[in-house]
Amino acid sequence: MKTQARLLSLALLALAAACSSKGDDKEDAGTVAVVDVCNSREEALTLDECELKPGETLERFLAKEGPQREGDQDWYRIVLPANTTARTLLNLNGVYVASSTAVQLSLTVLETLPDGKEAALAKKDDKHGQGAPKPVDMVLPLRADLAGKTLLVLVQDSPDVVSQPKFDARSPYRLTARITENPDTNEPNDAMAAATPVALTSAGGGLTGTATGYLATDNDVDRFTFDVPQGKVLYVGLTAPDQGFVPNWRLSYQLLRPGFLVKEEKEDEDQVRPSVRPGVLATARKVKEAKYGGKWMLVVRGYRGISDRDTASGDIQQAYQVDVRVLDEADAQDSRVVDGVVVGNDKVADALARGLTAPAQDLATTIPSGATTTFTGRLGYIGDEDWYEVRLPATAAPTRLHYHLVPKSEGGRFPPLPDIPDRQVLVFTLVSKGATIEDWRTACVNDSTECPKGYGENPDIAPLVQDYCRRTDLPAPMCLHSLREEVSENPRFVNLSNFRGVIPVPAFTGEKRYLFNVQDNGVGWADDKDYDLVVTWREEDADEQGRYSGGVEQVVTKAMASTTAFPAPPDTAEYSVSGRLSHGYGRLRSGDDRVNGRGVRGPMDYDAVPSDVDSYLFTLPAVPAPEDRAWLVQWEVAKSPDGGTAHGLALDLTFCDGDAPATPDAGIENCAVVRAGSRNQGLTLGYRSDALRAWHTPAGASASTLQPLYTLEERPNSTVVTLAPYACGCLEGRFVRGGKMRVDVSASERNSYEQVGYTLRTGYADYPQSYTRDGGVTTQCPGPADAGTDPDGGVAPLSGGCVFTRQP
């Protein structure tokens, strides 16, 4: 068959296939017979239709003529231009345009050696399996000695089983070759000795330099060098601008220390995440040691997977930019000189220490200079840690230490590194209780007087706290008192709004030291901007000091008084106790509250002393049987000076069962303690606005009959919460016979560390009382004769009267 006729048949066949192709290797009745050409090296070198001309696209089938279709190989020639040089690139692209095909396209480019044999310059396959076919695209750097010569291209299937090649008689592949000049003017710079120097010039208080490059060929490697003296901060930024398409490669880099010609030591490396554009990578490092002052190398390449076996395809359309900055250390604390030696403050032993002389008065708005200090620092490079120490003189009264980290706008000589910001502030004391360092570690882990623990809302923090107690690379075991962690994805905590805390300081002799550590948790981020760490020492509030005796806070004892008022006790001293909750984050209602941004702290924040707790022990009256009494409860919390709500209250209850033997070490003398209800859940009162089951609600009650257990009233200067009549608050007869009730008051839903006062009012009255149901129906709480009240959920039947600890 003549060449023209063969090509005409091939064109008609391609048209028919494009209209009917389903992309597999099966034929149907409408398939035109395949015309198979360019089946050998000889045909590729001699036939006109086997020449692959630059810029022109061929459409061919990978299938043999006749009954045996599989095993086809197509050969083509490419004649290189006479002006081919080492900067000339060959871009070869093969693709199936169908949505599916059994063929896994393979392209091989071969050159002819002097002995007449072929050697492969490059080979690439599309191993798409059961998925859609993908383009096979390769970019090859050529050589000057190839000018005017002919290369061969072999197209075939790359089957998963070598003995079972596939074919496609309905879908053609498209093959295109392009010859262009390498757009990267730095080439060749793949080899160590051929690296491109980046010229640095003075600008903005440092040295800066830029470069542009392309990863134009498969597995291309570009190298750049620049000089960095000891003591300087090196910033290197690498950007692939967004041009509306995903590049063939994922940008990656390695930063090599001086001496790379002898031994490659990586200071840092990273790669752009999959399918991300624009690609932005950056690092900032400080040259601390003299041996690392000198010529550094940046290695830029496409990411080839963990095993480095994948191919990073070349891309002649996507450029990248390199930004190099060599800067002075701008953090005065990081360049501190002690005895003629630069020590900085990156280590615990090198912490910048300052002493405070006396605590400020509790509510003073003007803080004396001896009660506060401000440390200014910056996270100027990856791995930068700033350590500060505050020293307090002995005090016979409890005090508290406030801290607040405030980010500033000063600095920022380079853009913040593209990693996720995850700054931390940690507050420690050193533990040295015992004769040996092992005794110190044991005391740090187990002795709560030396190292208090607050795992209640964050049990996952326990390993970190204990690790600081046990680490051997520290000067002594370190007790973690407070941790604040950046929550960049939660708008509630933008601009480090959770980076503040209050640490209770018990009375002590000698000198007490607190260590503050500011760092990036992931050691992959820095912004080179200043921050202020403000530390203030304050007296405890008068309420706290009044309760303090013998080194601990004492329980306040008060007799509970009777009243005929209902549901709120009278607002008089006989029924009231007052206090302030000076430290701690306060309680939250559910495990999701912290994640959702409720409260004053972030989800992973930690305080060794979770909340200030004021404890009251109420003595209950001796009354004739049946002893059940109505219990009236109300609390009022003052608002902040700006009218906001600093926190609510939570009341943890402990009753004494007068019908049971005393519990050893109960904390209340001669008391059989009851701290949990019928479902073994703690007995805690705390405001909720939703309608809930009360202890007396029958099992079959519908949701429409439920009511809120509390009422809330917003007054001009306070918030008042009252236990609602529907709750049927009461004191069980066994508890009245026990004679004592303890109430531990703590903050809840704290939104501010502003100090506000609270008043708790409580009293008892005759039982049962009544409440109003929906519809205005007055209903009496269960009395002693209501033995048939139906409980739910496996709780024993009521015997009549108050069963306030029943948890429905």
pLDDT in tens, 386-406: 999 999 999 999 999 999 999
Sheet of strand 168-181, all strands in order from the earlier edge strand to the far edge:
57-62, 168-181, 88-96, 136-141
Over 70: is that where the pLDDT of 786 sits? no
475-492 mean pLDDT: 90
Strands (E), 382-477: 385-395, 399-411, 423-430
Q: What tens digit of pLDDT does each residue of 650-692 get?
A: 999 999 999 999 998 888 999 999 999 999 999 999 999 999 9
Residue by residue, DSSP assigns 452-482 as ----TT-GGGHHHHHHHHH-SSSSS-EEEEE
Question: How confident is the model at residue 542, as a pLDDT?
Answer: 84
Q: Can you read off the two tokens belonging to residue 526?
A: 């820095």
Strands (E), 529-588: 529-539, 548-549, 552-553, 556-559, 576-580
11-16 mean pLDDT: 41
Report the alpha-carbon distance of residue 755 to residue 338 in Å, rounded.
Answer: 41
56-85 mean pLDDT: 94
Would you mind telling me the total number of residues written for the chain in this entry? 808
Do 740 and 618 form a contact (C-beta atoms < 8 A)? yes
- The residue type found at 310 is D
Over 60: is that where the pLDDT of 27 sits? no
Question: How confident is the model at residue 79, as a pLDDT?
Answer: 97
Do 600 and 487 form a contact (C-beta atoms < 8 A)? no
Over 80: is that where the pLDDT of 523 sits? no
Strands (E), 55-131: 57-62, 73-79, 88-96, 105-112, 118-125
The CB density around residue 792, as the number of other CB atoms within 10 Å, is: 13
pLDDT above 90 as % of the chain: 72
- Classify the phi-psi angles of 665: left when phi > 0, otherwise alpha if psi is within -120 to 50, otherwise beta: left
Confidence label for 785 from pLDDT (cuts 50, 70 and 90): low
Contacts with 739 (C-beta within 8 Å, 6 or more apart), sequence order: 619, 620, 622, 656, 658
Do 72 and 107 form a contact (C-beta atoms < 8 A)? no
- The pLDDT mean for the chain works out to 90
pTM: 0.82
Q: What tens digit of pLDDT does each residue of 343-357 get?
A: 889 999 999 999 999
168-173 mean pLDDT: 93
By mean pLDDT, which of 24-38, 208-222, 535-549 is the weakest? 24-38
Contacts with 591 (C-beta within 8 Å, 6 or more apart), sequence order: none
Report the alpha-carbon distance of residue 69 to residue 690 in Å, rounded.
Answer: 74
Identify which has the larger pLDDT, 175 or 11: 175
Question: How confident is the model at residue 310, as a pLDDT?
Answer: 85
Report the alpha-carbon distance of residue 485 to residue 458 in Å, rounded.
Answer: 13
Question: How confident is the model at residue 172, as a pLDDT?
Answer: 94
Over 60: is that where the pLDDT of 25 sits? no
Over 60: is that where the pLDDT of 580 sits? yes
Q: Can you read off the two tokens belonging to residue 738?
A: 């026990």
Question: How confident is the model at residue 4, as a pLDDT?
Answer: 41
Phi, psi of 439 (to 5 degrees): -65, -40
CA 659 to chain centre: 52
Do 525 and 420 form a contact (C-beta atoms < 8 A)? yes
Strands (E), 571-663: 576-580, 606-607, 614-619, 629-638, 648-656
Contacts with 672 (C-beta within 8 Å, 6 or more apart), sequence order: 656, 657, 658, 659, 660, 661, 662, 663, 666, 738
Report the alpha-carbon distance of residue 153 to residue 120 in Å, rounded.
Answer: 9
610-637 mean pLDDT: 94
Do 325 and 291 form a contact (C-beta atoms < 8 A)? no
The three-class DSSP label of residue 679 is coil
How is the chain split among helix, strand and coil, in percent rounded to 5? 10, 40, 50
547-556 mean pLDDT: 83
Q: What tens digit of pLDDT does each residue of 287-301 get?
A: 999 999 999 999 999
Report the alpha-carbon distance of residue 512 to residue 430 in Å, rounded.
Answer: 9
Q: Can you read off the two tokens belonging to residue 796?
A: 């024993």
Inter-axis angle of helices 462-470 and 437-446, nearest 10 = 160
Report the alpha-carbon distance of residue 756 to residue 758 in Å, rounded.
Answer: 7
Over 50: is that where the pLDDT of 330 sits? yes
The helix (run of H) or strand (run of E) holding residue 10 is helix 3-20
CA–CA distances in Å: residue 508 to residues 427, 439, 482, 492:
18, 21, 19, 37
Confidence label for 23 from pLDDT (cuts 50, 70 and 90): very low
By mean pLDDT, which of 388-392, 444-448, 458-462 is the weakest? 458-462
Contacts with 128 (C-beta within 8 Å, 6 or more apart), sequence order: 104, 134
The three-class DSSP label of residue 180 is strand
Over 70: is that where the pLDDT of 281 sits? yes
Over 60: is that where the pLDDT of 5 sits? no
Question: How confident is the model at residue 789, as a pLDDT?
Answer: 43
Over 70: is that where the pLDDT of 591 sits? no
| Unique residue bearing structure tokens 């206090």 | 579
Q: What is the DSSP letter of 214?
A: E
Report the alpha-carbon distance of residue 268 to residue 759 in Å, rounded.
Answer: 58
Question: How confident is the model at residue 776, as a pLDDT?
Answer: 83
Q: What tens digit of pLDDT does each residue of 233-258 get?
A: 999 999 999 988 888 899 999 999 99
Over 80: is that where the pLDDT of 328 sits? yes
Do 167 and 34 form a contact (C-beta atoms < 8 A)? no
157-177 mean pLDDT: 94
463-491 mean pLDDT: 91
Phi, psi of 437 (to 5 degrees): -65, -30
Over 70: is that where the pLDDT of 181 sits? yes
| Unique residue bearing structure tokens 């009521």 | 798
Question: How confident is the model at residue 543, as a pLDDT?
Answer: 82
Q: What is the DSSP letter of 682?
A: B
Over 90: is that where the pLDDT of 614 sits? yes
| Unique residue bearing structure tokens 């529907």 | 726
